[in-house]
């Protein structure tokens, strides 16, 4: 049995017309001898609509009830798709997450998958069914309905592919692949034929969120090859695979900018062991996600530390830092909200020299001041003033992805 796993996002099943078109696409695979397992998201923006309804009742909905509510969106789309497949002359059956025993932890609204039972899916496939599974949802050990976090259907799809031992998983989304930069910013952006799991994860972390990050982690772990493509065309999209399998490795394969973080600086803290641990320990205990951290070299027993946090957490982070100032010996806590983090990502960086230097030079030529820098194995990020974000993406893209093609 040649099994393919396909996931259709909200846009792809946004209307009944679109659902019928998806049924036709699936029929094409069946006609070519495939057994198809389909994971679907809720129609269009219906999950947002459910969130809005909850908001009309309460500002603090119970997370358990939120999952009970949000999981209904997918239950609608799986049933409608099953009917559309029946109309197309195919046998098809839909299942909720709990019906296929998609068991998760009990962390409502952001649950993690523990296990999936592939038996039911296999049985249904053997009886010649197209198997349709509701994405985004699972069930905890006490049979409470859970969801995997917004955008989580991608993760459901990859987890199901992994559980079935299927190598290929197609992700149909509203873009036709992964691009070197946001096409709304860069005119000469290109669709990548392939990209590695690591680059995808790095791009997601740095602001280019085509896929739910956890889906990429799963794909990497279980060696599931993803094909990100559009349900509106038959064009090839982008293959997300392991580095080893890639034909070409670009020094830079993507340039991103994100502006949802703010910078905090504490000046003149004492330069001795335990200070950073106290500061970041405290932020961590308070569930504040810290991204970039830069500490200046100590001078006269003093140093300063800057870091970035989500803008939503800024007020709380400053308050906590203010409270610690006495312990840390800092003179002031400053913050800046209008920053952007501009990044370049590429596995080719692992075997190239001078990439960082070149990126800094490109920025300096346009007089863009770099306020913080951080690097990973395959990425370089700079904090700059937010008013230069688009310019920075354009010129970095031009330097690395347009000039030497
Ligand atoms: N419907 C859910 C959401 O909008 C899950 C998904 O689309 O992946 O977040
Ligand atoms: Mg999505």
pLDDT tens by residue, 331-388: 889 999 999 999 999 998 888 889 999 999 999 999 999 999 999 999 999 999 999 9
Q: Which two tokens stand for residue 54?
A: 């909850």
Alpha helices in 113-256 (DSSP H): 119-126, 153-164, 197-205, 213-222
pLDDT at 327: 83
From 14, 97, 145, 153, give the residue whose CB has the most ligand 1 atoms within 8 Å, as the site to mutate: 153
Look at ligand 1, atom 5, and give the residue with the nearest C-alpha.
151
- pLDDT of 3 higher than 60: yes
Q: Is the CB of 172 under 6 A from ligand 1?
A: no
265, pLDDT greater than 70:
yes
Q: How confident is the model at residue 403 (pLDDT cuts 50, 70, 90)?
A: confident
Ligand with minimal distance to 66 CA: 1
Q: Is 268 left (phi over 0), alpha (psi -120 to 50) or beta?
A: left
Q: Report the nearest atom of ligand 1 relative to the CA of 212.
A: 8
Does ligand 1 have an atom closer than 6 angstroms to the CB of 14? no
Q: At residue 405, does pLDDT exceed 80?
A: no
CA of residue 274 to ligand 1 center, whole Å:
42
What is the pLDDT at residue 153? 98
CA of 173 relative to ligand 2 center, distance in Å: 7
- What pLDDT sits at residue 404? 59
230 C-beta neighbours (distance < 10 Å), count: 17
Establish whether residue 103 lines the binding site of ligand 1, counting it when its CB lies within 6 angstroms of any ligand atom: no
Pairs from 295-304 (Cβ < 8 Å, separation ≥ 24): 298/271, 299/271, 301/270, 301/271, 301/272, 302/268, 302/269, 302/270, 302/271, 302/329, 303/268, 303/269, 303/270, 303/271, 304/265, 304/266, 304/267, 304/268, 304/269, 304/330
pLDDT at 129 over 80: yes
Q: Could you give the CA distance from residue 281 to residue 349 in angstroms, rounded to a whole number? A: 32
Ligand 1 mutation target, pool 6, 150, 159, most atoms within 8 A of CB: 150
Between CA 193 and CA 200 the distance in angstroms is: 13
With a 6 Å cutoff on the Cβ, whether 153 touches ligand 1 is yes
The full set of domains in the chain, from first to last, is 3-174 (3.40.1160.10)
Q: Is 150 in the pocket of ligand 1 (CB under 6 A)?
A: yes
- Please give the model's pTM, rounded to 2 decimal places: 0.89
- Report whether pLDDT(275) > 70: yes
Q: Residue 20's pLDDT is what?
A: 98
The closest ligand to the CA of 10 turns out to be 1
Main-chain dihedrals φ then ψ at residue 163, nearest 5 degrees: -65, -30
Point out the ligand 1 atom lying closest to the alpha carbon of residue 148: 5
pLDDT value for 386: 97
12 pocket-lining for ligand 1 (C-beta < 6 Å): no
Q: Which of 95-104, 198-207, 288-297 has the highest mean pLDDT?
A: 95-104
| Predicted local distance difference test score (pLDDT) of residue 209 | 75
Neighbours of 35 (CB within 10 A): 22
Q: For a substitution probing ligand 1, which of 151, 160, 214 has the most ligand atoms within 8 Å of its CB? A: 151
What is the DSSP pairing of strand 130-134 with strand 92-95?
parallel
| 119 Cβ contact partners less than 8 Å away, ≥ 6 residues apart | none
Please indicate whether residue 108, judged by its CB atom, sits closer than 6 Å to ligand 1: no
The neighbouring-strand residues paired with 403 are none
């Amino acid at each position: 049995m040649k099994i393919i796993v396909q996931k259709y996002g909200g846009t792809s099943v946004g209307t009944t017309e679109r659902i019928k078109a998806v049924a036709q696409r699936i029929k094409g695979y069946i006609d070519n001898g495939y057994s198809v397992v389909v994971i679907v998201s809720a129609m269009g923006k219906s999950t947002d609509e459910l969130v809005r309804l909850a908001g009309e009742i309460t500002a603090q909905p119970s997370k358990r009830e939120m999952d009970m509510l949000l999981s209904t969106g997918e239950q609608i789309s799986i049933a409608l798709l099953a009917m559309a497949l029946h109309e197309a002359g195919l046998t098809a059956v839909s299942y909720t997450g709990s019906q296929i025993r998609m068991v998760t932890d009990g962390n409502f609204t952001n649950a993690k998958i523990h296990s999936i039972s592939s038996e039911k899916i296999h049985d249904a496939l053997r009886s010649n069914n197209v198997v349709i599974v509701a994405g985004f949802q699972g069930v905890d050990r006490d049979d409470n309905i859970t969801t995997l976090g917004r955008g989580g259907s991608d993760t459901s799809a990859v987890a199901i592919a992994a559980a079935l031992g299927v190598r290929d998983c197609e992700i149909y989304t509203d873009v036709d692949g992964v691009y070197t930069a946001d096409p709304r910013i860069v005119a000469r952006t290109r669709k990548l034929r392939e990209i590695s799991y690591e680059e995808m994860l790095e791009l997601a972390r740095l602001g280019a969120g085509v896929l739910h990050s956890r889906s990429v982690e799963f794909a990497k772990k279980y060696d599931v090859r993803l094909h990100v493509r559009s349900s509106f065309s038959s064009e090839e999209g982008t293959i997300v695979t392991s580095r080893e399998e890639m034909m070409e490795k670009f020094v830079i394969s993507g340039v991103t900018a994100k502006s949802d973080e703010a910078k905090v600086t504490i000046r003149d803290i004492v330069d001795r062991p335990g200070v950073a641990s106290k500061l970041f320990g405290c932020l961590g205990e308070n569930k504040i996600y810290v991204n970039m951290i830069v500490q200046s070299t100590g001078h006269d027993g003093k140093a300063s530390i800057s870091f970035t946090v989500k803008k939503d957490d800024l007020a709380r982070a400053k308050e906590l830092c203010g409270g610690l100032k006495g312990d840390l010996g800092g003179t002031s806590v400053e913050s800046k909200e209008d920053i952007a983090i501009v990044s370049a990502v590429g596995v080719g960086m692992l075997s190239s020299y001078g990439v960082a230097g070149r990126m800094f030079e490109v920025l300096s030529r346009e007089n863009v001041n770099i306020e913080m820098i951080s690097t990973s194995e395959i990425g370089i990020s700079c904090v700059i003033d937010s008013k230069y974000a688009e310019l920075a993406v354009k010129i970095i893209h031009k330097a690395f992805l347009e000039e030497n093609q």
